[in-house]
Amino acid sequence: MKKTLVVALGGNAILSKGQKPTISSQFQNVKKAIKHILPLYKKYNLVITHGNGPQVGNILIRVEQALGKAYKLPLEVCVAESEGEIGYIIDQSLLNAMHGKKIKAGVATLLTQVLVDKKDPAFKRPTKPVGPFYTKRQANILKKKRLPVMFDAGRGYRRVVASPKPIKIIEVPIIQKLLKQNIIVVAAGGGGIPVIKEKGKYKGVEAVIDKDFASCCLAKCLKADILLILTGVDKVKLDYGRKNEKSINKMDAKLAEEYMEKGHFPPGSMGPKIQAAINFVKHGGKKAIITSPRNAENALKGRQGTHITR
């Protein structure tokens, strides 16, 4: 019986920093990543998650530009649209990569709803920047409309929204059934569509869920064996970017937490990935691995990447 592997495909594997965001460039990048992910199907049931930062930002720009000409879309619907866009690219890239090879697998991309707590403190303290950049004058107009805004990285003002913690992946039973039928599943894209539960019914909320936390939640709900987080570096580093930079081959959850407390893994970069890895192994996962797409196969053989164990 195959083990289950959740592969979290980082946003930079879909759109590189500084790269012009186009559909063709996304196809090119995803094609390269799939080349290293597809071979894993021989040994594992595969579930692929992905980021959506640039894509959902562009969708929000379209929404704003179309005000008065088309109906407005709430943020959670924008997330759903990005799941469809990127899911289509990954789905088709997988099918094309199988062509001519002895891999008999189906591919299914699911719009995935993720349950969050409506009382999550994040709703009172929005911190996640989304969408386009604004001038100070535009930002003041948004503030008058009671829309939270912050100055982001010296580039301008941006809207900030809540980023609640994921509790449960609604479509897990469907994903489990698909995996039993040898289907590769693309799910929880961009952290999934945030929903709350009121009087037994689901309702979308304007928020974004961290993609690494959502990937961890999905892996836990599926009782996956391994969480493989693919990002822009081959291994996690201590003192990243400094002269004394040092790669980490292996660490347990306790040591990873100690490094976090010392500030080695900033919240805006490696922090969420390390926290997701810690949460996964603490809740029954065998191990989590952080590496680049090109090292995916070797990482699962223990030859590459940073391995986090219980």
Q: Would you state the torsion angle of the CA atoms of residues 209, 163, 290, 175, taken in this order, to the nearest 10 degrees?
A: -20
Name the band, by pLDDT with cuts 50, 70 and 90, for residue 57: confident
Tell me the pairing of strands 44-50 and 3-9.
Answer: parallel
Read off the pLDDT of residues 96-151 as tens digits, 9 standing for 90 and up: 999 878 888 999 999 999 999 999 999 999 988 887 788 888 888 888 888 788 88
**pLDDT above 70 (res 153):** no
Can you give the pLDDT at residue 246?
94
Model confidence pLDDT, tens digit, residues 248-286: 999 999 999 999 999 999 887 899 999 999 999 999 999
**Does pLDDT of 188 surpass 90?**
yes
Catalytic residues: 11-12, 128, 211, 273
pLDDT band at 32 (very low <50, low <70, confident <90, very high): very high
Question: Nearest 5°: CA angle at 35, between 32 and 39?
Answer: 160
High-pLDDT (> 70) share of the chain, %: 100
Per-residue pLDDT, averaged over 78-96, amounts to 97
In order of 4, 79, 191, 306, the CA distances from 113 in angstroms are 21, 10, 9, 30
The answer to whether the predicted template modeling score (pTM) of the entire model surpasses 0.85 is: yes
At residue 142, the pLDDT reads: 81
- For the chain, the first-to-last Cα distance in angstroms comes to 23
What is the pLDDT, as a whole number, of residue 243? 85
Choose among 7, 1, 9: nearest CA to 226. Answer: 7
Q: Which domains does the chain have, with CATH numbers?
A: 3-116+166-309 (3.40.1160.10), 126-161 (no CATH)
> If phi over 0 gives left and psi between -120 and 50 gives alpha, with beta otherwise, what is residue 284?
left
pLDDT of 12 over the 80 cut: no
Nearby residues of 302 by Cβ (< 8 Å), 6 or more positions away: none
Pairwise CA distance, residues 30 & 26, whole Å: 6
Residue 207 identity (one-letter amino acid): A
